[in-house]
Amino acid sequence: MEVTLNHFLFVSGLLFAIGLAGVLVRRNVIVIFMCLELMLSAANLSLVAFSRFNLTESGGPDYNAQVFLFFIITVAAAEVAVGLAIIVALYRAKQTTDVTQINSMKN
Amino acid sequence: MPAYYLEIIVVVLGLTVLMVETFVSLRDKRSLGWLAILGLLVVLVLNFTVVETGGEGGNTPFWSFYVMDIPAQWFKGLALLATIFVILMSVDFSRVLSKGICPEVEDDGVDDCAENQVALSEFFALPIFICAGMMWMASAHHLVSIFVALETVTIGFYVIVAFMRRNVGSLEAGVKYLILGALSTGFLVYGFAWLFGVTGEMELGAIADALNAPDVHRTGALFAFALILIALCFKIGAVPFQIWIPDVYQGAPMPVTAFLSVGSKAAGFVILLRLLEPFMASEMLNANVTSVLVIIAAATILFGNLAALPQTNFKRLLAYSSVSHAGFLLMAVASAPAHPGVVSPVAAVSYYLAAYLMMTMLAFLIMNLIRVQRGDENLEAYKGLAKSSPFLAFAMLVAMASLAGVPLTAGFVGKFWVFVLALQEKHYYLVAFGVIGAAAGFYYYLKIVKSMYWDSPADAGSSAAVPVVVAWPTRIAIVLLVVGVFYFGVNPGALLSLFL
Amino acid sequence: MTLLEAIIAIPIVAALAIAFGSPTRPTAMAAAAINLLLILMAFAQYDLSVEGVYQLAGSHPIITVPSVEQPGAQSILLGLSTGVDGISLVLLLLTGLVTLAAVWVSPAEDQIKGSKRLYYLSSLLISAGALGAFCSTDLFFFFAFHELALIPTFLMIGIFGSGPNRVRVAWKMTIYLGVGSMILLAGLVALFVALGGQSLQFGDLQGWANAPAAIASASLENGIFLTLLIGFGILVSLFPFHTWAPEAYATAPTPTAMLHAGVLKKFGLYGLIRIALPMLPNGAAHWQTLLLVLLVGNILYVGYVTMAQKRFDLMLGNSSVMHMGYAFLGIASLNVIGVQGAVLLMFAHGISIALLFALNGHLRKRFGTLEFDRIGGGLGKLLPTLGLLFGFAIMASIGLPGFANFAAEVMIFFGGFAGLYSQQEGIVIGPVQIATMCAIWGVVISAVYGLRAYRNLFMGPLPDSSKERKLVDLTLAERLPLILLIVALLVIGCAPGLLIKYLIPSIENISHLAG
């Protein structure tokens, strides 16, 4: 069986959906954060797939997307650094990482 | 001077603030705030002098990432102004800030942490870095540069929203903003991937050409549009992705809330305008895109205004008000004319955001003073303000009148052009929603006027009867904003004619 | 700076001066008096022989666009343009007179509880808003100036209002007017867009509206007219959107009630005559019957409600709503004499209702209440001057010959019956004629409640409770503003031609009106 663009897109769509579902249903902030990273990975996979199958005039892959991918990975790393720091600070203050406990602001 | 020097100068300014804090021993670190404001003012002046080069004008590949046109210059100016006001507020706010950072003091201990004004310089430096991100965003014309600029802003905001790390409200706001912000980033990136997949391009001009081609994959393009729109609706706070706004606004430190509601929204709209342009220009996609935007705009106006009605926390009220203003702005975005009229959506949105900056910053400057000196963010704290501090009460009256859209203020002109655009495109139902929303706005904005002017403080002799102290820089800022609200309300041509 | 710009600027400058510490009452009085003089000067400079243009015009372009008609040239899209024709001139005179009287009857500074500056400043701002709206020849500023009065009115009723319901009443009025003005804004913008979206100047808009098939479809034109009718109607308290008005006027402090009921409310009627009628003639014809039904509601339904009132201030508030029905009738008759009558009634009613609210204030000051039962009768013996002036005011309001109200109402009825007889068809009784007949009943109604109020307050024996009270009749200072207004009513009533000669050319200039 030949692996086509659609196979890649299907897998990346699946990853995205799993990530989104995780964000919506899980209650632990850490797990939610991991699911968010999963969504970014899904986008990365699509980008690489599109890059591999959208050939340029010279016949090579379109490296624009692959460069974009490195930007996404870098930014995601920065996001994780900041995000985990905030989550740790929250854990110190409230001794919990359960999102349902984060509800002190209600009017 | 090439335009991108501006961003470089701003980043260097941010680093300078941090360096000065490290290597120079300062008696009062608030002076770093003045340094930052001074630097930003210089950049604001330079912003008027830069040459317009971009798009086809440049000849290096750099210019496919970066454009310098009138909207870009405009939004750079807005970002700088917003940051200046935010740092000005931060200087006033520094006392409250240290309470949110420092541990509880033992009875006999000396409050070293508060004495040393720990972390204050970061609180000045981070908005400057965010400002650089916003300025870059105004010029971004390539998916990569849009993404990186947007994330610079978003990650900076994660930090300053959760800045008061011993204050549970601030932390909760930080976590909420973090999760929903990252979620929207996920949508945005996935949308970008699809947009690239459908068009094979990353530069917005080339994307526009590709989307206009007859053989474009329509479903794929609309899927990409939907993902990008979801992401940007998070950023601008449009229904149904506005859920984070009230809590984050309420929990974040006051200057950060102001920055979020003005800066972050303006940045979101500049990206929205840039990214929607190719979709709106495509004949095949135009109808679908417009109808989705109209529905979102109507829902946003309705939700923002109706949810604001019962609020008693002023910050939360302004949060819903910011949702409603996002709705009015979307009304203009959704009205891209098939045949260009006198005022384009870009001009209307730019004007509206400038007006929104003036009136919202005015409100937040005053709220900040009340928060610092009376320790209260509820409407209760404003009772009888007209008697104890008539100047602040009048300035707040002007801000509220402008937010409500009373004529001869800048806020009215914004709404006026939005209505013109929507009616030009025959969005009659949308205008009806706008009328309902604007009329509801009268109630909750005037509720604050009522508190200030009719009501007496709940208990006489409380802190509410003491006049609020206003330092002279804040006073100048307030006077300038009041004058600005009236001047640009009576003479809208002063700003709008830039776009004609 | 042209004369008209000075007229608009003076109250605003005076308000600013008061805000920054100028003595309140003298400044306000001086501003109002100078303004009245300037308005009279405007009358003198107005050239009756020139027709069809706005005179004393001045313009400050704010946004210019490439002209459609002359390529290469720039035309004004939005500008602070001012100018008057006969209609606006008459309303300026009304505003000048009522403003002076309203400032004059304002209580002395030591009697104001709360901020004295705010009290006088608000009156001046309301006046400036009305003057600006009547002078503007740009749609944007026409609307904007009217709204200038919204916040001062809200504050005045909320802070200085009387009665237990002031909070609720102020909210009700503000929400009503807010909704009304937003609907109006939508209508005005729709009109601007439908007429090409190239200019907000009245002259240009009217020019395009005069072109055949100016507005693309009949349903669009009808829709815009209806939106404008509802928007303006809410501001003028057209039945069934009138419920904000009586309570608001009863609650408002005296100068605010005088200015709002006397002047500001006329803005809606002015807008109908200035914008809706000439620019949307087919829309006006299409909705004529609806307007007639609503205005009969104003005259008869609100008329009966007025008769049932037990408090003088509420009676006045309702009566002012009722009399708006006549003005609407003049407009709905769609002929020259009817519209002339409507404008003249706007003037006459504005003066007479301001007069009545001033007297209302004097009564409230002396008795602390305005319930007929609690005041009792027989005041004519105790307060002869007040009684005399009150008699004049009530007679004027009823429409007794000799007062301007009479001339106006007669013209409106002539307008209403104008199509009654034609040589081909004999007597035709159409909707307008039926509405006019109902309106004539309204005259009886207003006579009933007016005279009854006079009898209840001033005639009959003095109740015992009043005998012990020390009641002071009007002092000279209190009399003068009232006499000013009465003289204006009598002069115009005896020689309506003084004003009508200004109205005729301007109203005949509105094409599509029957002769």
**pLDDT, tens digit, for every residue of B200-247?**
888 888 888 888 888 888 888 999 999 999 999 998 988 888 888 998
pLDDT for the residue B462? 61
pLDDT for the residue C167? 84
Q: What are the per-10-residue average pLDDT scores of chain C (515 residues)?
A: 89 91 87 92 86 83 78 81 90 93 80 78 91 91 88 86 82 88 92 86 84 80 92 90 88 89 91 90 89 91 90 90 91 88 92 91 82 77 85 89 90 85 78 88 90 85 67 81 90 88 84 68
Residue A35 counted as domain residue:
yes
Asked if C150 is an interface residue toward chain B (Cβ–Cβ < 8 A), one would say yes
- Rounded to the nearest angstrom, the gap between the alpha carbon of residue B142 and the centroid of all alpha carbons in its chain is 22
Partner-chain contact A36 B166, CB within 8 Å: no
Distance, in Å, from the CA atom of B304 to the CA atom of B302, rounded to the nearest integer, reads 6
Partner-chain contact A82 B158, CB within 8 Å: yes
State whether residue C334 is helix, strand or coil. Answer: coil
Task: Give the B window 433-452 contacts with C, CB below 8 Å.
Answer: 434-435, 438-439, 442-443, 446, 449-450
Identify the helix (H) or strand (E) that includes residue B143: helix B143-161
Nearest partner of C495 among C414, C424, C404, C423, judged by Cα: C404
Nearest partner of B129 among B225, B234, B15, B206, judged by Cα: B15
* Domain at A33, CATH number: 1.10.287.3510
- Rounded to the nearest angstrom, the gap between the alpha carbon of residue A39 and the centroid of all alpha carbons in its chain is 3
Distance, in Å, from the CA atom of B264 to the CA atom of B16, rounded to the nearest integer, reads 24
Partner-chain contact B443 C198, CB within 8 Å: no
Q: Which residue of B has its CA nearest to C150?
A: B406
Mean pLDDT of A24-34: 90
pLDDT for the residue C361? 87
Nearest partner of C130 among C110, C152, C109, judged by Cα: C152
Residue A84 counted as domain residue:
yes
Q: Are strands C421-422 and C55-66 parallel, antiparallel or unpaired?
A: unpaired
Q: Do residues B120 and B32 lie in contact, with contact meaning Cβ atoms separated by under 8 Å? A: yes
pLDDT for the residue B461? 58
Environment class of A85 (CB within 10 Å of its CB; exposed 0-12, middle 13-18, buried 19+) = middle
Residue A104 counted as domain residue:
no
pLDDT for the residue B55? 46
Asked if B386 is an interface residue toward chain C (Cβ–Cβ < 8 A), one would say yes
Using alpha carbons, list the distances in angstroms from residue C52 to B202, B269, B342, B350, C196.
59, 46, 28, 39, 22
Distance, in Å, from the CA atom of C433 to the CA atom of B229, rounded to the nearest integer, reads 59
**Long-range contacts formed by B223-227: CB under 8 A, 24+ apart:** B223/B194, B224/B191, B224/B192, B224/B194, B224/B195, B224/B197, B224/B198, B225/B191, B225/B279, B225/B285, B225/B288, B225/B289, B226/B191, B226/B292, B227/B187, B227/B188, B227/B190, B227/B191, B227/B194
Partner-chain contact B178 A68, CB within 8 Å: no
Nearest partner of C258 among C481, C438, C467, C442, judged by Cα: C481
Using CB atoms, pick whichever of A33, A65, A82 lies closest to residue B155: A82
Asked if B202 is an interface residue toward chain A (Cβ–Cβ < 8 A), one would say yes
Full-model pTM: 0.92
C143 contacts in B (CB within 8 Å)?
407
Chains that touch C (3 or more CB pairs under 8 A): B
Nearest partner of C438 among C270, C273, C231, C297, judged by Cα: C297
Radius of gyration of chain C (CA): 22
Q: Do residues C276 and C284 lie in contact, with contact meaning Cβ atoms separated by under 8 Å? A: yes
CA distance B489 to chain A (A): 34
DSSP C258-296: HHIIIIITHHHHHHIIIIIHHH-HHHHHHTHHHHHHHHH
Give the mutation candidate from B172, B194, B316, B320 for the A interface (greatest A CB count, under 10 A).
B172
Distance, in Å, from the CA atom of C459 to the CA atom of C453, rounded to the nearest integer, reads 10
Kindly list the domain boundaries of chain C, sorted by start residue. Answer: 287-515
DSSP C287-320: THHHHHHHHHIIIIIHHHHHHT-SBHHHHHHHHH
State whether residue C338 is helix, strand or coil. Answer: helix
Partner-chain contact B446 C182, CB within 8 Å: no
Asked if B411 is an interface residue toward chain C (Cβ–Cβ < 8 A), one would say no
Could you tell me the residue range of the domain that residue A13 belongs to?
5-96
Q: Do residues B265 and B322 lie in contact, with contact meaning Cβ atoms separated by under 8 Å? A: yes
As given in the structure block, the two tokens for residue B275 are: 């990214």
Instruction: Give the number of domains in chain A.
Output: 1
Query: What is the length of chain B?
Result: 500
Distance, in Å, from the CA atom of C440 to the CA atom of C431, rounded to the nearest integer, reads 14
Residue A106 counted as domain residue:
no
Q: Which residue of C has its CA nearest to B404?
A: C178
C178 contacts in B (CB within 8 Å)?
404, 438-439, 442-443
Nearest partner of B433 among B312, B288, B330, judged by Cα: B330
pLDDT for the residue B481? 93
Distance, in Å, from the CA atom of C73 to the CA atom of C118, rounded to the nearest integer, reads 46
Looking at this protein, which amino acid is placed at residue C154?
Answer: F
Nearest partner of C255 among C441, C84, C28, judged by Cα: C28
**Long-range contacts formed by B459-465: CB under 8 A, 24+ apart:** B463/B373, B463/B374, B463/B375, B464/B374, B464/B381, B464/B383, B464/B384, B464/B385, B464/B388, B465/B384, B465/B387, B465/B388
Using CB atoms, pick whichever of B175, B246, B313 lies closest to residue A90: B175
Asked if B226 is an interface residue toward chain A (Cβ–Cβ < 8 A), one would say no
Residue A21 counted as domain residue:
yes
Q: Which residues of C59-94 are buried (b: 16+ CB within 10 A; e: fewer)?
A: beebbbbeeeeeeeeebbbbbbbbbbbbbbbbbbbb
B197 contacts in A (CB within 8 Å)?
9, 46, 49-50, 54
As given in the structure block, the two tokens for residue B490 are: 């009576």
Partner-chain contact A107 B189, CB within 8 Å: no
Low-confidence ranges of chain B (pLDDT < 70): 51-63, 104-116, 338-341, 458-465
As given in the structure block, the two tokens for residue C367 are: 């008795």
Q: Do residues B127 and B118 lie in contact, with contact meaning Cβ atoms separated by under 8 Å? A: no
Looking at this protein, which amino acid is placed at residue C254?
Answer: T
A87 contacts in B (CB within 8 Å)?
175, 178
Using CB atoms, pick whichever of C65, C145, C154 lies closest to residue B342: C65
A16 contacts in B (CB within 8 Å)?
186, 190
Partner-chain contact C178 B442, CB within 8 Å: yes
As given in the structure block, the two tokens for residue B81 are: 């102004």
User: B–C: how many Cβ contacts below 8 A?
Assistant: 93
Nearest partner of B416 among B357, B359, B347, judged by Cα: B347
C145 contacts in B (CB within 8 Å)?
407-408
Residue A101 counted as domain residue:
no
Nearest partner of B482 among B325, B298, B390, B358, judged by Cα: B358
pLDDT for the residue B54? 46
Asked if B217 is an interface residue toward chain A (Cβ–Cβ < 8 A), one would say no
